[in-house]
Amino acid sequence: MSALMLPVLATLGAITAVAGSSLFVYKLVRHRRERFDEFRRASYVGALSEMATRSGYPLEMLRRWSPDGVFLETLLEFLKFLQGGERQNLLRLSRELGIVERFVTELRNSKRRNSRVEAVKALAEFADPASADALLEALTDPVDEVRWQAAGALAKIGDPRAVRPLLEALHRETDWGANRIGDTLVSFGSTAVPDLARYALLNDPSLSSTTAHLPLVARVLGIIGDVRAEPAMLSALESDDTELRIRAAAALGTVGSLACVPALGRALCDVEWEVRAQAAAALGRQMDGRAIEGLRESMRDENWWVRQNSAQALSEIPRGVEALIGGLDDEDRFARDASIERLMAMGLVRKAVEAVKDGSAGERERYIVRQLVVLGRGEYLKDESASEKVAG
């Protein structure tokens, strides 16, 4: 080995030794810090458990704890599992310690993305009405996660002032972001319906964009299921936008009254099968006998989903079952198949077979079995003796 290599090797050895020692010290310090954090966390859990069940607590001691990040983490985790009076005790404690105000300040003033995200997440957990103004401001934050967390926090608070800004934000969002806002709007429930309905009716000039994500708004209204949305959904059912008509037809199954039955009946003839299928399903939920003829005709539709939804709807409408049974004699093969499958699913074919076998069958039961035999669909009967009795 040359003399020149010895200093190099010595230097590398020294560097390695220093690096190894530094790593050991770092791990030791980190381990002790983690153990200390766990010790503090355990202490905080015990103290918070006590505080949650009491209306009084030593504020001076808590003020010393409140700047500690471990205390704040423990408090937020604790709040996730508390309800009722115990949760209110800790929320009151947080307000008195200025914790909520601290997170509000962080959300408004911090230039760091992660700090604002953590602040808004904490405010969502506290759900304190005093933070609503800051959360409303955060709906325009340049960071997606801040905006979406702020929307969720406002929904948790139940502040109706958030609905319009959320609707105005829709046109600025990607589809994925808009869907997150939609889920948040659902959380507001009936509180959001007036603004949602105005948006869907396209008649609110105060909104900066009244055309973005209308199918999403229709879906939200359908999930909420408030009848005040019916006029907006009837209007949307006449739209040139296929996706909007689909969503409107589906929504009318939950927000519609009997007044929407004629419009849904017309939608059974829509050029798009998805609209026809949703209209059929919605008519079943209305359970209005005026829909029977249209649904009977829709069992001849070229699309399987439309036929199945129509048969399902008939099974839910009073006197609709008679139309299903009558469908066994329909000239259209699709309609016959839809009727058979629905009657099987309802258990009426099995009951008819059993009644024929034990001799208690009425005319309706004998007709069902006879038609299946005539149609050559004996496999649905699963009983040759019943077929023979009817044939005999």
* Rounded mean pLDDT, 7-29: 57
Query: Which candidate, 354, 379, 372, places its Cα nearest to that of 391?
Result: 372
What pLDDT does 31 receive?
46
Q: Can you read off the two tokens belonging to residue 222?
A: 């359908």
Q: Which helix (H) or strand (E) holds 222?
A: helix 214-224
pLDDT digits (tens, 9 = 90+) for 341-360: 999 899 888 888 888 888 88
Domains and CATH numbers, the chain: 257-346 (1.25.10.10), 351-392 (no CATH)
Could you give the dihedral angle defined by the CA atoms of residues 343, 348, 354 and 357, in that order, rounded to the nearest 10 degrees? Answer: -60
* Rounded mean pLDDT, 85-107: 79
Identity of the residue numbered 33: R
The per-residue pLDDT of the chain, averaged, comes to 81
Q: Quick one: how many helices (H) and strands (E) in the chain?
A: 23, 0
DSSP secondary structure of 320-342: HHHHHHHGGG-SSHHHHHHHHHH
Query: What span, in angstroms and rounded, lies between the C-alpha atoms of 4 and 221?
Result: 81
What pLDDT does 133 receive?
92
Could you give the dihedral angle defined by the CA atoms of residues 249, 250, 253 and 259, in that order, rounded to the nearest 10 degrees? Answer: -10
What pLDDT does 170 receive?
81
pLDDT digits (tens, 9 = 90+) for 253-306: 999 999 999 999 999 999 999 999 999 999 999 999 999 999 999 999 999 999
Q: Which residue has the tokens 């918070």?
A: 48
What pLDDT does 370 receive?
85
What pLDDT does 81 receive?
64
Query: What span, in angstroms and rounded, lies between the C-alpha atoms of 223 and 363?
Result: 43
pLDDT digits (tens, 9 = 90+) for 179-237: 888 999 999 999 999 999 998 886 444 444 445 688 999 999 999 999 999 999 999 99
Query: What span, in angstroms and rounded, lies between the C-alpha atoms of 201 and 195?
Result: 10
* Rounded mean pLDDT, 140-153: 88
Phi, psi of 127 (to 5 degrees): 50, 50
Residue 381: Cβ within 10 Å count? 20
Q: Can you read off the two tokens belonging to residue 240?
A: 């040139």
* Rounded mean pLDDT, 12-16: 64
The three-point CA angle 145-150-156 to 5° equals 130
Query: What span, in angstroms and rounded, lies between the C-alpha atoms of 132 and 139?
Result: 11
**Exposure of 361 in the CB half-sphere (CA atoms within 13 A):** 23
* 45-54, 255-264, 331-340: the lowest-pLDDT one: 45-54
Ranked by mean pLDDT, which of 186-195, 306-315, 383-392 comes out on top?
306-315
